[in-house]
Amino acid sequence: MRVSVVVPVLNEERNIPLLYEQVRQELEDAGHDFELIFVDDGSTDGSAEAVANLNRSDPRVKLLSFSRNFGHQVALTAGMDHSTGDAVIVMDADLQHPPEMIRELLDRWKQGFEVVHTVRDTTEDAGWFKRTTGTVFYRLFRALSQIDLPANAADFRLLDRSVVRALGEIRERTRFLRGLTAWAGFRSTSIPYRAPARREGQSKFTPRRMARLAVDGLVSFSAIPLHVAIYAGLALAGLGFLYSLYALYVHFFTGTTLPGWTSIIMLVAIVGGIQLILMGIIGVYLGKIYEETKQRPLYLVRRSIGVAPAAAKDR
């Protein structure tokens, strides 16, 4: 059995040798033939050269280097496209996905599971805000998409070759692989783990990147926000109608006309703000449709070492 390990990399020069040693040790101790594919997602440090140096001493280490930054989810996709293993393990380069769990992932796979998720119990360097927003996102995702994605699921999982092949057929541009993996089905299980603090460098998942990934995940798997826009519009129209009846009553039956400046300003501000929010929701969906219609490749490879070319559709 051959195992592929796919690792997206963005400015992780100092972590790459550490990760390589731990992954190599785990897979050699388990007696598996393996390949370790690093996908350089537009790094500006020496990450690509660090991988190239490892390849010179160990040809099982392979490199895909993008022409620019295409994003974490696309980097994972590219690595899976070029993998050859019977099982594919995807993990990050920051050592917060413990390599010592690899053998447990493989044990579950040998038991017949085609997808083995990992679920974070805790993250040592995660603050209250990150933990809270993560919990809210997963609850919201399950409620809107009706897909049973495990809470706090990480991009650290094992996929059987049949699952990789199925995901390879899905080429949508807005990619949320945790959701796609759950959507695809297959026999799955989960393993809890405690994520250690990052060994070197800083996290590339800034609040902005996390927010964008969350929006992509929700938009990719649910049209309910569009339905919410309809309901909100109906509610606002109903409130406006009731307020109009009140204004007519005051004007014709009480004989007084209220100045109305404050109420008008409040209505304009509230209704205008809600309209802008709803227009923004619709705009996000239209933007995603626009991206899909262009049919550009998901990624462009500038350099590769030891990796066979993927089929044209796999880019």
Task: Answer whether residue 18 is part of any domain.
Answer: yes
The Cα 108–Cα 104 span in angstroms is 6
Residue 212 lies in a domain: no
Q: Does residue 188 have a pLDDT over 90?
A: no
The rounded mean pLDDT for the chain is 78
Residue type, 151: A
Higher pLDDT, 51 or 291: 51
> pLDDT at residue 312 above 50?
no
Residue 26: inside a domain:
yes
d(C-alpha 195, C-alpha 98), whole Å = 7
Q: Are residues 189 and 171 in the same domain?
A: yes
Residues 307 and 288 occupy one common structural domain? no
In degrees and rounded to multiples of 5, residue 118 shows phi and psi of -115, 145
Strand partners for 63: 38, 305
User: Are residues 19 and 95 located together in one domain of the fold?
Assistant: yes
Q: In angstroms, rounded to a whole number, what is the distance separating the alpha carbons of residues 228 and 163?
A: 34
Same-domain pairing of 84 and 120: yes
Question: Can you tell me the mean pLDDT for 22-29?
Answer: 89
Lowest-pLDDT choice from 27-36, 119-128, 281-290:
119-128
Residue-wise pLDDT for 134-152, tens only, equals 666 666 666 666 666 666 6
Residue 219 lies in a domain: no
Residues 287 and 310 in one domain: no
- Residues 304, 288 share a domain: no
Q: Decide if 216 is inside a domain.
A: no
104-118, 132-146, 181-195, 273-287: the lowest-pLDDT one: 132-146
What integer is the mean pLDDT of 190-203? 70
Same domain membership, residue 51 and residue 178: yes
Question: Which of 62-71, 150-159, 254-263 shows the lowest per-residue confidence on average (mean pLDDT)?
Answer: 254-263
> Would the pLDDT of 252 be above 50?
yes
Residue 281 pLDDT class (50, 70, 90 cuts): confident
Instruction: Tell me if 34 is assigned to some domain.
Output: yes
As a whole number of angstroms, the distance between CA 301 and CA 299 comes to 7
pLDDT at 176 over 90: no
Over residues 238-263, mean pLDDT = 63
For the chain, the domain total comes to: 2
The CATH number of the domain holding residue 166 is 3.90.550.10
Residues 56, 70: one domain?
A: yes
Q: Is a pLDDT exceeding 50 seen at residue 313?
A: no
Q: Are residues 130 and 238 in the same domain?
A: no
Residue 263 in domain: yes
Are residues 158 and 83 located together in one domain of the fold?
yes
Q: Does residue 152 fall inside a structural domain?
A: yes
Q: Indicate whether 186 and 277 sit together in one domain.
A: no
**Residue 296 pLDDT exceeds 80:** no
pLDDT of residue 158: 94
Pairwise CA distance, residues 281 & 49, whole Å: 42
- Whether 119 has a pLDDT exceeding 70, the answer reads yes
Question: DSSP characters for 68-137?
Answer: S---HHHHHHHHHHT---SEEEE--TTS-S-GGGHHHHHHHHHTT-SEEEEEEEEETT--HHHHHHHHHH
Residue 308 sits in the same domain as residue 271: no
Range of the domain at 22: 2-204+298-314
pTM of the model: 0.70
